[in-house]
Amino acid sequence: MSEPTPLPRTLRLVALLFLLSGISSLISMVVGALNSQVRLEFGMIGIFVYFGLLRLSSGWRTCALALTLLGVVMSPVMAILSLGAPQKVNINIFGINSAMPSFFVVLASIFWFGLALWQWSVLKRPDVTALFIQKKISGF
C-alpha cells in the first residue's frame, strides 16, 4: 500500500486562509447575535472549503477558485469605491462597526487583491491541479 501524496505547503496555506476567513465570518455572526442582530455570513463557507481542499475534493477546489475569483474582481472595486469616499469609511470587523480612513481601505484592498491572485495561482498550478485530478480518477 502506497503512502498518500503529501499536500504542498502552499495548498495547505491556501486552505488555512479559507479556514481563517470562515472563522472570521462565524465570529461576526456570533457577535451580531449577541447584539440582537441576525447575520448570515457567506464567508462561513470557507470552513467547508478548508476541509474540502485537504481532502482533495475537486468540487471544493472549484468552489475555492470561484471565491478567489470573486476576491480578485471585488478587491479593485472596493479600492476604487473607497477612493471616492469621504475621509472615513464605515466598515464592519467581526460584527463591530467602525470608521477607518479611506486610504487604509484602499491599501487593504490592494493587499487582498494580491493575496487572492496568489491563492488563484496556487490552486491553478499544474502540480496542485494534478492532485485533485488524480484523486478523482482513483475514486477515493
4 within some domain: no
Residue pair 53/11 in contact by the 8 Å Cβ criterion:
yes
Per-residue pLDDT, 1: 41
Q: Which residues contact 123 (CB under 8 A, 6 or more apart)?
A: 11, 14, 61, 64, 65, 68, 129
**Domain for residue 2, yes or no?**
no
Split at pLDDT 50, 70, 90, the class of 96 is low
Strand partners, 92: 97
Average pLDDT over residues 74-94: 80
Residue 71 domain boundaries: 9-138
3 assigned to some structural domain: no
- The SS3 assignment for 3 reads coil
Evaluate whether residue 1 is within a structural domain. no
Name the average pLDDT for the chain: 87
* Whole-number percent of the chain with pLDDT over 70: 88
* Count of structural domains within the chain: 1
pLDDT digits 0-9 by tens, 9-19? 999 999 999 99
Tell me if 17 is assigned to some domain: yes
Residue 46 lies in a domain: yes
